[in-house]
């Protein structure tokens, strides 16, 4: 005896289509946020590495500093004990290198926690999408089911 798939009404199919579209859009947004956070994390790691390098640099050492896309400036480092750290939009705080490293490490940790949460959310959404997709493919048949993947 073969088992028949349960039938669902038109309203339920419409609800599933809307849920699918919403979850698909949400997953795309989460994926974009993860990309941006990974780029931010890479920048923070580079900043941390630069701070570590500055610690072993002597005063009056010449350095090459990026000032924009593909443009660098030769500078002489007169102060290698402290740096300016952005703590808000256009607000800077002067602190020693170790404090700056602590601040950067804290930001890396915050980014990592946010990434983990987004990855969990993305996995849950993907799971739900994988439950909805076969239902829609079954009930929509050839009526635009190519958009359900």
pLDDT (average), residues 108-133: 98
Domains and CATH numbers, the chain: 10-144 (1.10.287.370)
**How far is the CA of 16 from the CAs of 20, 21, 70, in angstroms?**
6, 9, 49
Q: Which residues contact 61 (CB under 8 A, 6 or more apart)?
A: 76, 77, 80
> pTM of this prediction?
0.79
Q: Tell me: the pLDDT tens digits for 69-114?
A: 999 999 999 988 999 999 888 899 999 999 999 999 999 999 999 9
Is the CA virtual torsion 34, 40, 46, 51 positive or negative? negative
Q: Is 100 exposed, middle or buried (0-12, 13-18, 19+ CB in 10 A)?
A: buried
Is residue 37 within 8 A of residue 118, CB to CB? The reply is: yes
Query: pLDDT above 70 covers what percent of the chain?
Result: 91
Q: Which of 22-26, 27-31, 59-63 has the lowest mean pLDDT?
A: 59-63
Residues 6+ apart with CB under 8 A from 104: 44, 47, 48, 51
């Amino acid at each position: 005896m073969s088992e028949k798939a349960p039938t669902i009404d038109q309203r339920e199919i419409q609800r599933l289509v809307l849920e699918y579209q919403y979850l698909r859009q949400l997953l795309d947004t989460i994926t974009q946020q993860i990309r941006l956070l990974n780029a931010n994390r890479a920048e923070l790691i580079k900043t941390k590495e630069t701070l570590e390098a500055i610690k072993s640099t002597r005063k009056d050492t010449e350095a090459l500093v990026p000032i924009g896309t593909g443009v660098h400036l030769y500078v002489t480092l007169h102060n290698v004990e402290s740096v300016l750290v952005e703590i808000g939009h256009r607000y800077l705080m002067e602190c020693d290198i170790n404090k700056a490293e602590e601040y950067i490490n804290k930001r890396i940790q915050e980014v990592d926690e946010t990434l983990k949460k987004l990855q969990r959310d993305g996995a849950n959404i993907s799971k739900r999408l994988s439950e909805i997709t076969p239902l829609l493919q079954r009930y929509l048949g050839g009526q635009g089911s190519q958009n359900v993947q």
